[in-house]
Structure 1
C-alpha cells in the first residue's frame, strides 16, 4: 500500500481539510498520514474560530512522519500564516517527493483562511510543487489571473510548475459544464464534468487536490490523476448526503 501525507488544517465538521483528505486517500486505497497546521472551529455555514499550531510542532509532526513512512506524495492545504508556510516549505521543498499544493485562501462560506502578509511566502512555495490547484479567486491573488483571459500563459509560466485552475463554467450545446484548466510549460488541457446546481460543495477543493495526490501515488501521470479526480469529485457532489445548513458536505465514499 502506498503512503500519502497531507499537511493541512483540521475541519471540525469533517467535510474539508485533513478530514476530507484522509477520507479521499482511503477511497482510493492509499494510506494517509497527516500533519495538522491549524485547528478550525467551523461548520458548513462558516469558520467560527482559528487556532494556529506552533510552527515548531508542525515541523516535529513532519519529521516524525518522514522518519517512519515511505511517503510517495505530499498534499499541502491550509497553512494560514507566513511562519507556518516557511516552516513547511523548508521541511519538504528539497525532498524527492511530488507536492500537490492547494493554495487555500478562503472557505466556501467566505471565511479568510490565509493571513494577507503570508501571500508572498505562499507564492514562493508554489515553485516547489508538482502542481498547484487554485480556484479563480486564488489564481487572481497569486498571479492576477483573469478568467476572461483564461489562456494567457504568460502570467502562469513564471511559476515554474503546473497550474490547475478550477471553477470555470461554460455552456456547450445547451449543457453547462464545470471546467478546470491545466496549464503546463507548453500546453493547456481542459477537464470537463457537467455542472451540478447544488449547495453541497463544502470541501471540494481539498478533495480534488488530495485525490490528485492519491492517484499520483498510485502511479498515474498528472493528466490522468486530474481526470480521475475531477470525476471523483463530480460523483461525490452528485451523491452528497445533504447535511449541514450552509455549504453542505460531499460524499467521499462513492
Structure 2
C-alpha cells in the first residue's frame, strides 16, 4: 500500500509508487492524501483529501486485502498524519516512511505544523525512514555538513522510535559518488556508494526508492537486502533517463527489469 499524493505528471507520488510495485511484481493499493496539479516544472496546485477520507481509504482496503507492507509519502497535514497513525497502529505491517516535504521545484508538500506530528506520532511506528539530507535536517534539527553531523542526526532520529534510517546522500558534495548511509537501532551501520549521475531528470527518485524498498520487504526480503536492492532499482532508473519534460524529468521505472537488476552498488561495511 502507498499512502501519498497524486502526481498528475506521473513521475512521483502515487503514480511512481504503483509503477514501481508493478515492475517488482507486487500488487499495489493506494490511499490518496492529496491531488496535485504538477508537471516537471513544478507544482501549480494542491487539493488535499480530508483526514476522515484518508482513514476510510485505508480501512476499506485492509478490510478486504492482505496488505504486507505500507509506505507513506506526501501526507500534507497534521490531521492526515494522525489518522494514518490511528489506522496503522494496530495493523501488523512493515512501514516505510518517506518524509516528503519539498517538491523538486521547491513547492512545500508538508505543512509546518505537520512536522511535529510526523516526528512524534508516525516515526515511532516506522520500520524504515528514508530522508534526504534536507529532510533529515528538518526532522533532527541538526545541520548536516559532515560525517559526524550525519551520525548525530541519525542517532537523534533513531531515538524517536524508528528501527532503521537510510540517510540518502545525494545532496552532499561528494566527488563523483553518491553515498547513502544506513543506521539501525541496534547500532549497526553500512554505506551504499554508487556513481553520481549528472542529470536533471530526478523527479520522483525518493518516491521510487521507498516504493522499491516497500515492495522488497513486502515479499519477505531481509531489511538489509531490500535496502540494497532498492538502491539498485533507483540507480538504474536515474542512469537511463526517459528525457521527457522541460524541467526535472521523471526517472525510468522500466530500467531495473530491462537490466535484470544488474547495477554496481558498492557496499561498505562498518
TM over 0.5: yes
Task: Note the alpha carbon deviations across 1:110-148, whole angstroms, 9 max, x for none.
Answer: 110000011100112111010011111110000123241
Whether 2:182 is the aligned partner of 1:182: answer: yes
How big is the shift at 1:194?
Answer: 0.6
Report the more deviating stretch, 5-14 or 231-240. Answer: 231-240
Secondary structure at the counterpart of residue 47 of structure 1: strand
Are 1:130 and 2:113 an aligned pair? no
**Structure 1 residue 222 displacement after superposition:** 1.1
Unpaired runs of at least 5, structure 1: none
Contact 2:139–2:157 (Cα < 8 Å) also in 1? no
* CA–CA distance in structure 2, aligned partners of residues 160 and 70 of structure 1: 26
Moved more, 44-53 or 184-193: 184-193
Give the alignment's TM-score, normalised by structure 2. 0.88
Q: Distance in 2 between matches of 1:156 and 1:91?
A: 23
String of CA shifts for 1:20-78, please: whole Å, max 9, x gaps: 00000001000000010000000111110000011111111111100111001001110
- May I ask how many residue pairs the two structures share in their alignment? 247
- In the TM superposition, what are the counterparts of 1:6-17 in structure 2 within 5 Å? 6-17=2-13
Q: State the Cα distance separating 1:154 from its structure 2 match.
A: 3.7
TM-score, normalised with respect to structure 1: 0.94
Cα RMSD for the two superposed structures: 1.3
Q: 2 CA distance for matches of 1:94 and 1:248?
A: 38
Conservation of the 8 A alpha-carbon contact between 1:170 and 1:179: no
Aligned partners of 1:187, 1:12: CA distance in 2, in Å? 40
List gaps (5 residues or longer) in structure 2.
Answer: 256-270
Residues 203-242 of structure 1, C-alpha deviation per residue, up to 9 Å, x if partnerless?
A: 0000000000000011111111111111111111111110
Shift in Å, 1:93: 2.1
Higher strand residue share: 1
Maintained 8 Å contact 1:180/1:191: yes
